[in-house]
Amino acid sequence: MPNFKTLDDLPADLTGKVALVRVDLNLPMQGGSASDLTRVEAIKPTVLELSEKGAKVLMLAHFGRPGGARHSALSTSMVVGDVEGVLGKELMFIPEVAGPVVEQSIGILRPGDIGLLDNVRFWPGEEANDPNFAQSIAAHGDFYVNDAFSAAHRAHATTEGLAHHLPAYAGRSMERELTALDSALGNPETPVAAVVGGAKVSTKLDVLQNLVGKVQHLIIGGGMANTFLAARGVDVGKSLAEHDLIETASKIMDEADHSGCTVHLPYDVVVAKEFAANPASLRTCNVHEVAGDEMILDIGPLATEALADVLKTCRTLVWNGPLGAFETEPFDTATMALARHAAALTQEGSLISVAGGGDTVAALAQAGVTGDVTYISTAGGAFLEWMEGKELPGVAALSA
């Protein structure tokens, strides 16, 4: 576990102290307002806790990709109304991140008030992680709180640099994410199962390579299972498969053998001749019976049942990537079934389950189990880099 400070390490009374808080307010927008407020809900506990302790809370965030120049459409002022709605408090929008305007605004804010600075990516120093830029922001604050795990894989001025200029703390959302991820792969209860699915091996090579050395069961599903099946000599017909990565897949399976990790590939699959909802050509067969004009679009019921049995023997599950083309019926069947099974084991208290990835989060929501697994990471890129075993600069900078 990285050794970081949390809000518990701050004094109970922060009256008048200026907290610079990096948050994720990169909200998906539709017709001028946010279409999903999950990210605002995530930072609410941290922002309100600091406010209740009397701090003047200044939120720092990026919004879109302005590329180091001002763009009025990418001002964080666009989200003020949405953020106020979730926080239940008025915000002061401050159209700068440093300098006299910020100084004057801090003078106007009362203890407990919350301000939102403009898009940190309006300044080239943000993405360049320019120490002078970080220092100019840091000059306004008494301490720095990072509550944006989803941006922690970037070494930018407000995600990494500020931690070198001010006392640095993990916010509640960051703390929760790091604790959950640590319990899944850092210091997990064993045996650990990893489900890795999704479309392609090529996008998850580093994930697979990291996991084979860490988990006892590696469950491979989705399109990437086809490449592994091909590596085992299975004819996968016209399934999505990366034939140039067959050797890599073989190597991963060898490494797994050496490190005592069991690789689980499906032995039955759901196939069709055309990729459409409930196609006429739909059938379930053994992996050795896939015809040349068929494609594998989901793992089969026997494989799903076998995987459910594997999960019963495990204490920890980390999941990234759906087992089939879950957006199209009935190729969601295995993913839905295993998701519900994992959720049930979690609810019974026998499994710690942590999942992440854009499509994985959507699939778990589709299965109706979002609230029944231990932790769902919505962090996207940062979650994947963590799955790859990489040190995240934003996290490393918080660790004393």
Which positions touch ligand ADP (CB under 6 A)?
Answer: 197-199, 203, 222-223, 240, 296-297, 320-322, 324-327, 357-360
Catalytic residue among 16, 237, 380, 381: 381
> Least distance from C-beta 72 to Mg ion, angstroms?
31
> Least distance from C-beta 357 to Mg ion, angstroms?
6
Span between the terminal Cα atoms of the chain, in Å: 12
> Least distance from C-beta 15 to Mg ion, angstroms?
45
Is residue 154 flagged as an active site residue? Answer: no
Alpha-carbon distance 21 to 40, whole Å? 13
Range in contact with Mg ion (rule: CB under 5 A) among 43-51, 70-78, 358-366, 381-389 = 358-366
112: left (phi over 0), alpha (psi -120 to 50) or beta: left
Show the tokens assigned to 374: 């231990």
Alpha-carbon distance 229 to 157, whole Å? 44
Rank residues 122 and 386 by Cβ distance to Mg ion and give the closer one: 386
Is residue 214 flagged as an active site residue? Answer: no
Count of C-beta atoms within a 10 Å radius of residue 88: 8
Does 131 bind Mg ion (CB under 5 A)? Our answer is no
Catalytic residue among 17, 39, 154, 214: 39
Alpha-carbon distance 82 to 78, whole Å? 8
User: What is the SS3 assignment for 30?
Assistant: strand
Residue from 130, 142, 255, 359 that binds Mg ion (CB under 5 A)? 359
Show the tokens assigned to 52: 């209740």
- Binding site partner of 240, from Mg ion, ligand ADP, none, Cβ cut-off 5-8 A by kind: ligand ADP
> Least distance from C-beta 274 to ligand ADP, angstroms?
13
Rank residues 28 and 67 by Cβ distance to ligand ADP and give the closer one: 28
Rank residues 141 and 321 by Cβ distance to ligand ADP and give the closer one: 321
Does 381 bind Mg ion (CB under 5 A)? Our answer is no
Q: Which of 29, 257, 21 is nearest to 120 (CA)?
A: 21
Angle, CA 319 vertex, CA 316 and CA 322 arms, to 5°: 145
Count of C-beta atoms within a 10 Å radius of residue 52: 10
* Whether the bond into 131 is cis, omega within 30 of 0: no
Rank residues 113 and 332 by Cβ distance to ligand ADP and give the closer one: 332
Angle, CA 371 vertex, CA 321 and CA 26 arms, to 5°: 65
Catalytic residue among 5, 176, 200, 273: 200
- If binding means CB under 5 A, how many residues of this protein chain bind Mg ion? 2
> Least distance from C-beta 224 to Mg ion, angstroms?
12
Asked whether 152 and 392 are in contact (CB, 8 A), the reply is yes
Does 130 bind Mg ion (CB under 5 A)? Our answer is no
Is residue 381 flagged as an active site residue? Answer: yes
Alpha-carbon distance 356 to 386, whole Å? 10
Residues shown for the chain: 400
Is residue 110 flagged as an active site residue? Answer: no
* Contact residues for 112 (Cβ-Cβ < 8 A; gap 6+): 51, 52, 54, 55, 56
User: What is the SS3 assignment for 60?
Assistant: strand
Does 182 bind Mg ion (CB under 5 A)? Our answer is no
> Least distance from C-beta 22 to Mg ion, angstroms?
25
Rank residues 240 and 291 by Cβ distance to ligand ADP and give the closer one: 240
Phi and psi at residue 71, to the nearest 5° = -135, 115
Catalytic residue among 16, 358, 380, 389: 358
> Least distance from C-beta 263 to ligand ADP, angstroms?
17
- Binding site partner of 266, from Mg ion, ligand ADP, none, Cβ cut-off 5-8 A by kind: none
- Binding site partner of 199, from ligand ADP, Mg ion, none, Cβ cut-off 5-8 A by kind: ligand ADP
User: Annotated catalytic sites, by residue?
Assistant: 39, 200, 358, 381
Give residues in contact with Mg ion (CB under 5 A): 358-359
